[in-house]
Structure 1
Amino acid sequence: METSLGVLMLVVLLNSESRASSLENDTGLNFVVAFPENIAYYHATNPQNSLKILALYPDTTVKVKIEPNNVTTLQMSSGEDRDFLLHFIPQLELGKSNITNQTLHISSDKWITVQVISSKKNSLQTSLVIPTENLSKEYYIPPVPTIKGTTEPKDTVTRTVTERGPFRLVIINSDKPNTVTVEGKHTQDISLNPGEAAQVWLNPDDELRVVKAGEPVSVLFGHSCAMVKDCTCGLVYTVLPPATDQTQTFIVPPQLAPVDEKDTFILLSEKDSTKVEDFKADSPKVSVDGTAVLYRPGLLLRLIPESDFSSCYHITSIPNMNNFAVIVTHKDSTEKVYVGQESKKGADWKSLKDTDYVSTQVPLPSGRNTIWHASSKMAVYFLGQNNVSLVGNPAAAISKHSDLRGCVLSPEVVRIGEDTQGWRESREYCENMNLDLVSFSKTKHQQQVLKMLNKANTDNLKKVWIGLRRSSLTGDWYWLDGDPVNNTNWGQDEPGRVDEGQCAAMSLESSKNGAWRDEDCCEDLHPVCHKKTVLLQ
């Protein structure tokens, strides 16, 4: 029997392996990478550069192309984190050339994330690579921080001395011919072939403000050997985010800065202006019509705007370092923050003044770490430190969809069917949409689905079919997905005798709390169709 009830789609159906790319996370199918000059290209020590690649799905094929005839193929499983070493190709590190083809390309048939590690002697930096699907044609250039012995005094900045050289941009082109304009007082026009990268030195008198390109590019900002302390210098750089003229709010946790906050700045860049603000732990909220980067000695860190907070992140610890996650979340949801399967409710959460947020820094074990929120969104940063190096980058955002069971790759789908039918016909109805009648063997999952149904039940339905029925052979109840029937929610005096109702319906009446009852399988009810959440393994 058909009714006029419209279809209620509670969560957009996403195929777990072929979704449209979006700016909501750091996963993608294609990446282009360049390794900035570290200390100096002519340094006696060869670079020890590498990639960290995370596969999200089973049977993932990844190809790393260093040159047209130098392609390495990796076969990866779901959740596998692979180090790809590039020690044997020192020429991949950029030198002083304005234009170079020293780039490499990573492609995959399923979604992955890519982190870059640039290492030479005691100079080490990490960065999270933006997928080419998410690159932009426009970027705002941050102001250059004041670094004694590197950019200060200004009249000592020179390209002939490594540690006193100017900051630079590295503009990496993807797979199409491109024209790039770096706008400012002394505008520069650059032509790039596919796979080429351009280096632009940020001389103070040039007042360069914006990078604009005919085709999407990636842009790095940094210095090959900025002074850190004790007359030592090291590589600092970050991947710039795409430009935006929307007002962005950044919540800057104090754990990102040294204890004394000395020489820590927020570099703000907008369409027509830049500004350097001192970092202040008692003023964690920063707003700008553009982008923000944190600088502290030894580190440039792209900040995560509130609009880009996500529900799941990935961090792989770096050997021989103390590894940390810095987490920002709403003050009322700390108990739902997990690292792996461990809740961080008991972590040392600090209130962030004049906001509803709190933050903490938690140590990370070696290997792969999944950091996820069971009901909301958060910001997560990676920091690593040893006696000589400080590294950091935004953690790789995997998903903006939260779930009480783990890190979501493809969100749960719950759909109230538009037709009233018997239980068997209702199951066929769901299967025709590549769904099934809902099975929820865990109490928390039952509550999660019921909450979604109650929110969408604008037609005030009283009860609906679920994927639970009685075996004609044994008389026992079973879930369609094969899970055991342990955590039940039968109503009073339910279920009846074995010769009574053979199929289960769930109440949507507010007073019944989703209670079940057995029903005649021929009764006409609306079905709850369902597709399971796909979680990162």
Structure 2
Amino acid sequence: STDGVTGLKFIVAFPENIANFYPALPKNMIIITALFHETEVVIKGYEHHKDTLILSAGETQTFDVEAHLELSRSEISNSSLQISSNKLITVREVHHKHHSIQTSLVTPTDKLGTDYLIPPVPIINGTSHPVDQITTFVTENNPFRLVIINTEQNNMVTLTGVASKNIFLLPHQVASIWLKPEEAFRAVSAKMPIAVLFGHACAHLRNCTCAQLYTALYPTKEETKKFYIPPFLTKGVENGAYVLLSQRESRQVKSASQISPLLEATGSAILYRPGLLIPLIPETDHGACSIVTSVPNARNVAVIVVHRNLTAGVHLGYQSLESLNWQQLDGNDYVSVHIDLQSNKSVIWHSSSKMAVYSLGIKDGLMFGNPAAIISKSADIRGCLLVPEVIRIGAVAGGWRESLQYCQNQQLELVSFSRRGHMTQVYNKIILGKQAGLMDLWIGMRRSACSGQWYWLSNEPVTETNWAEGEPGTVNNAQCVIMTLKSSNFIWRDENCCRNAHPVCYKDPTLLTI
């Protein structure tokens, strides 16, 4: 699950890329995005001096990782990096050596699990096929590997399959385990949380070349999920793309060309195409706002999957994406689109619903990438939500002035509406939490004693209103505004400010700086 990819603590490791003896140094990096101002990030490792980064809200920084931290061939290593922050961040790791690039979204340590299913190995001629050529002595014919990264306590990790294996790890240690066909490991479990990567140092590509192939695994969740597969992920390799299905009782490798764009499965689904392993995003893990970071010197692309009736709500920064050429997914109600990204960080958000977003890159004809970092699962018409708006119906009925004071005593204000879309959003939330018998509510609008004009307490301009027919009255009539729940569209009327009614108390949301 990609839910919960913002956090305060992360741990990363960089698996062997191509080969340790390859005559090019790794250019590994981590890409960190801060959500709030004055975010202080500390990066440290075993025998590694501390580095400190200071980021402002919405800022993305790239941190270059020392070459010697690439994992060696030894089974146990201390070469991990710990990342800690005083405020929420997202972390993306980039493995880069020569022509070989892989990326993963890093799960915060408090969201890691203790049980993971090991995917089936994809069929790669010259690497995993034919099986009798697999050997630990030739790089491109090595077995696939599991990289297990321990968190902050001593840990016992167990791999189970035809054979079983126990591994003891000290805090922050990393284990690299061959997935030999004869051992057929199916699952990995641990006493304490672990991060798990699955892949190969140098999987065969074409023309006698090979490159790293790795993805992060997500903790096991046994529930039936729907995965919508955007056509961009299989574009150009229709017959060479496979879906690796991991379930508690079975594992399958299915040709992507034989799967409809809608796949239903329990467990996890990872798409393989030459050069790429990427977890498919289940519908349960769609989000309302995601951050897509860019990898330098590559074509960076975002792929979005959303219900076909909801494309109007999709935004890139402040730009609506409704007018793009959305592609219908065969046999279901979803559509997808891909967009090229120009900046080092892009915010993709939905004003009223959820969607899936993939963060991809293309270099030298090869695709790499991962699910984008979900910032919020709650939509807001104004942007990417960090802290939701607060809407609270006051428990005490009073006059308008007393109601204003009641809200302010709770560090809230009487609600003001900046635009119709926001009115609808608030109305829908009031309907969900409506108390029986509640009919009339004060809102934060009043008539100016000087000009006779209506104004909002928030000082927003009065551009859109929702007056009942015949309302408001003249300047000599009532000076305050009631919103009534008697009608389905929550119409307003002017009212004597001394009349008793319950207030709609409100606090603005915190939005991500775009």
TM range (shorter): over 0.9
In structure 1, how many angstroms separate the alpha carbons of the residues matched to 2:55 and 2:445? 37
Q: Which residue of the partner structure matches residue 61 of structure 2?
A: 82
In structure 1, how many angstroms separate the alpha carbons of the residues matched to 2:162 and 2:407? 62
Q: 1:272 aligns with which of 245, 249, 254?
A: 249
Q: Which residue of the partner structure matches residue 38 of structure 1?
A: 17
Q: 2:445 aligns with which of 459, 468, 473?
A: 468
SS of residue matched to 2:291: strand
Q: 1:232 aligns with which of 209, 217, 225?
A: 209
Q: Which residue of the partner structure matches residue 337 of structure 1?
A: 314
What amino acid does structure 2 have at the position aligned with 1:329? V
Q: Which residue of the partner structure matches residue 17 of structure 1?
A: none
Q: Is the 8 A contact 1:135 1:218 kept in 2?
A: yes
- Answering whether residue 383 of structure 2 is matched by residue 383 of structure 1, we say no
Larger deviation, residues 220-229 vs 354-363: 354-363
Q: CA deviation at 1:300?
A: 0.4
- The 1:456–1:236 alpha-carbon spacing in structure 2 relative to 1, beyond 3 Å, is same
Q: Is the 8 A contact 2:440 2:483 kept in 1?
A: yes
- The 1:503–1:281 alpha-carbon spacing in structure 2 relative to 1, beyond 3 Å, is farther
Structure 2: unaligned runs, 5 residues or longer? none
Q: Which residue of the partner structure matches residue 266 of structure 2?
A: 289
Q: Is the 8 A contact 1:99 1:199 kept in 2?
A: yes
Q: Which residue of the partner structure matches residue 420 of structure 2?
A: 443
In structure 1, how many angstroms separate the alpha carbons of the residues matched to 2:166 and 2:265? 28
Q: CA deviation at 1:475?
A: 4.8
Q: Which residue of the partner structure matches residue 518 of structure 1?
A: 494
Q: CA deviation at 1:249?
A: 2.1
- Answering whether residue 52 of structure 2 is matched by residue 73 of structure 1, we say yes
SS of residue matched to 2:421: helix
Q: CA deviation at 1:100?
A: 0.4
SS of residue matched to 2:226: strand
Q: Which residue of the partner structure matches residue 41 of structure 2?
A: 62
What amino acid does structure 2 have at the position aligned with 1:443? R
Structure 1: unaligned runs, 5 residues or longer? 1-21
- Answering whether residue 415 of structure 2 is matched by residue 427 of structure 1, we say no
Q: Is the 8 A contact 2:2 2:373 kept in 1?
A: no
Q: CA deviation at 1:460?
A: 5.2
SS of residue matched to 1:428: helix
Q: Which residue of the partner structure matches residue 19 of structure 1?
A: none
Q: Which residue of the partner structure matches residue 364 of structure 1?
A: 341
**Higher relative contact order, structure no. (Cα contacts within 8 Å, ≥ 6 residues apart):** 1
SS of residue matched to 2:57: coil
In structure 2, how many angstroms separate the alpha carbons of the residues matched to 1:93 and 1:282? 37
Q: Is the 8 A contact 1:282 1:352 kept in 2?
A: no
Q: CA deviation at 1:73?
A: 1.4
In structure 1, how many angstroms separate the alpha carbons of the residues matched to 2:409 and 2:357? 40
What amino acid does structure 1 have at the position aligned with 2:197? L
- Answering whether residue 104 of structure 2 is matched by residue 127 of structure 1, we say yes
In structure 1, how many angstroms separate the alpha carbons of the residues matched to 2:305 and 2:313? 12
- Answering whether residue 6 of structure 2 is matched by residue 27 of structure 1, we say yes
Residue correspondence of structure 1 range 178-217 to structure 2 within 5 A: 178-217=155-194
SS of residue matched to 1:332: helix
- The 1:260–1:178 alpha-carbon spacing in structure 2 relative to 1, beyond 3 Å, is closer
Please, what TM-score do these two structures have when normalized by structure 1? 0.91
SS of residue matched to 2:422: helix
In structure 2, how many angstroms separate the alpha carbons of the residues matched to 1:423 and 1:281? 64
What amino acid does structure 2 have at the position aligned with 1:213? A
What amino acid does structure 2 have at the position aligned with 1:427? L
Q: 1:144 aligns with which of 82, 97, 121?
A: 121
What amino acid does structure 1 have at the position aligned with 2:500? D
Q: Is the 8 A contact 1:424 1:521 kept in 2?
A: yes
What amino acid does structure 2 have at the position aligned with 1:319? P
Residue correspondence of structure 1 range 236-247 to structure 2 within 5 A: 236-247=213-224
CA shift digits 1:71-108 (9 cap, x unpaired): 1111111100111122xx21110010100010001111
Q: CA deviation at 1:324?
A: 1.4
Q: Is the 8 A contact 1:103 1:197 kept in 2?
A: yes
In structure 2, how many angstroms separate the alpha carbons of the residues matched to 1:123 and 1:23? 25
Larger deviation, residues 475-484 vs 320-329: 475-484
Q: Which residue of the partner structure matches residue 284 of structure 2?
A: 307
Q: CA deviation at 1:26?
A: 1.1
Q: Is the 8 A contact 1:237 1:300 kept in 2?
A: yes
In structure 2, how many angstroms separate the alpha carbons of the residues matched to 1:138 and 1:282? 28
Tell me the percent identity: 47
Q: 1:509 aligns with which of 481, 486, 489?
A: 486
What amino acid does structure 1 have at the position aligned with 2:425? Q
In structure 1, how many angstroms separate the alpha carbons of the residues matched to 2:45 and 2:331? 49
In structure 1, how many angstroms separate the alpha carbons of the residues matched to 2:296 and 2:67? 21
Count of residue correspondences: 513
Q: Is the 8 A contact 2:239 2:257 kept in 1?
A: no
Larger deviation, residues 497-506 vs 356-365: 497-506
Q: Is the 8 A contact 2:2 2:374 kept in 1?
A: no
SS of residue matched to 2:368: strand
Q: CA deviation at 1:309?
A: 0.9
What amino acid does structure 1 have at the position aligned with 2:419? K
Larger deviation, residues 494-503 vs 308-317: 494-503
Q: Which residue of the partner structure matches residue 489 of structure 1?
A: 466
What amino acid does structure 1 have at the position aligned with 2:311? T
Please, what TM-score do these two structures have when normalized by structure 2? 0.95
In structure 2, how many angstroms separate the alpha carbons of the residues matched to 1:63 and 1:426? 46
SS of residue matched to 1:160: coil
- The 1:403–1:142 alpha-carbon spacing in structure 2 relative to 1, beyond 3 Å, is same
